[in-house]
Amino acid sequence: MKNALFQTIKLGKLTLKNRIVMPPMTRSRATQPGNVANQMMADYYAQRASAGLIIAEGTQISPMGQGYAWTPGIYSPAQIAGWKKVTDAVHAKNGTIFAQLWHVGRVTHPDNIGGMQPISSSAMKAENVKVFIDNGTDEAGFVDVVEPREMTKADIKHVIAEYRQAALNAIEAGFDGIELHAANGYLINQFIDSEANNRTDEYGGCIENRLRFLSEVVAAMAEAIGADRIGVRLAPFTSLNGTVDATPVESYTSAAAVLNNHKVAYIHIAEVDWDDAPETPVAFKLSVRAVYQGVIIYAGRYNGEKGATAINAGLTDMVGFGRPFVANPDLPNRIKNNYPLAAHNPDTLFGGGEAGLTDYPEYSAS
């Protein structure tokens, strides 16, 4: 039954060795100052290179794009060099790795962005949302976000250019491609979702307008590095970080159609994954499949069997396994052989050092 997960698959010009995806997971261990990817992160990703595709943790495209302390960036020469260590280590193990390009928009605090006011589609504060700061004076910790300012047309052009440059930087750093983070309440999601966008210009209002920023960012990056090296992450039904859409089925089926027009390599859909969360409607999955011809990835509460079933049913092409990859660096082998999965330590997910990052062993019968 699980064989579906272990078939090869074409992704753009790449051939992936299996259909198991390690999705992006923030681990907050970049070297300070400078938010630079480091050897510890290179070891972590190399240990997990048996995944068909690794999508590295979100990496901010600019200083303004940073939402949390200690997350890596991809805009400075030092950051590009840091990521080169990571991609070299993964490629040495015959792995494939994409960079996730991230701008958080309003999901931040001035202490994380040099004292500036955050930017967003609209001057609407994300309600009941906190972010992690380290301002060097108080103890690092979580604080409420602040009200952003509405992006001007000039801001929009500027951020599109930052995404384009970040895509070029990712290729320079040795990544096989990039994933655009358009999910989980961050900047692009703040344009897409109706309840986070009250603009009255061509970037707000109807669904077509709310998808314009996404479309323009993808077009700029595709012109720079090729659409076949681009994936996009969407989260149609989550309300993470305060973004909600009134008509998610219509909005995100339309988004898939826009991305099909751009011929991006894949769409990566984050399903709601808390314990009693509703399942993503099968009708929605079928409608995405109908309008989008590229590779589809779903990530949520999957195990090997459920993932293989989804592939065999034609609903998805690849399956992301998030938290299981934290404590199981050899996850594909464990799924293949029905080995038990280790549980991760929730206290070492964010920040810190090797403990809870690179010290989880591969499976051993003894």
Query: From CA 48, how far away is CA 150, in angstroms rounded?
Result: 40
CB 58 within 8 Å of CB 99: no
Identify the helix (H) or strand (E) that includes residue 137: none
DSSP β-ladder status, 97-102 and 141-144: unpaired
Q: Which of 68, 75, 186, 252 is catalytic?
A: 186
CB 79 within 8 Å of CB 54: no
- 293, 295, 299, 303: CA torsion to nearest 10: 120
Where does residue 303 rank: exposed (0-12), middle (13-18), buried (19+ CB within 10 A)?
Answer: middle
DSSP per position, 231-285: EEEE-TT--GGG---SSHHHHHHHHHHHHHHTT-SEEEEEPP-STTPPPPPHHHH
DSSP helix/strand/coil, 337: helix
Active site residue 186: yes
Which residues form the catalytic set?
Answer: 186
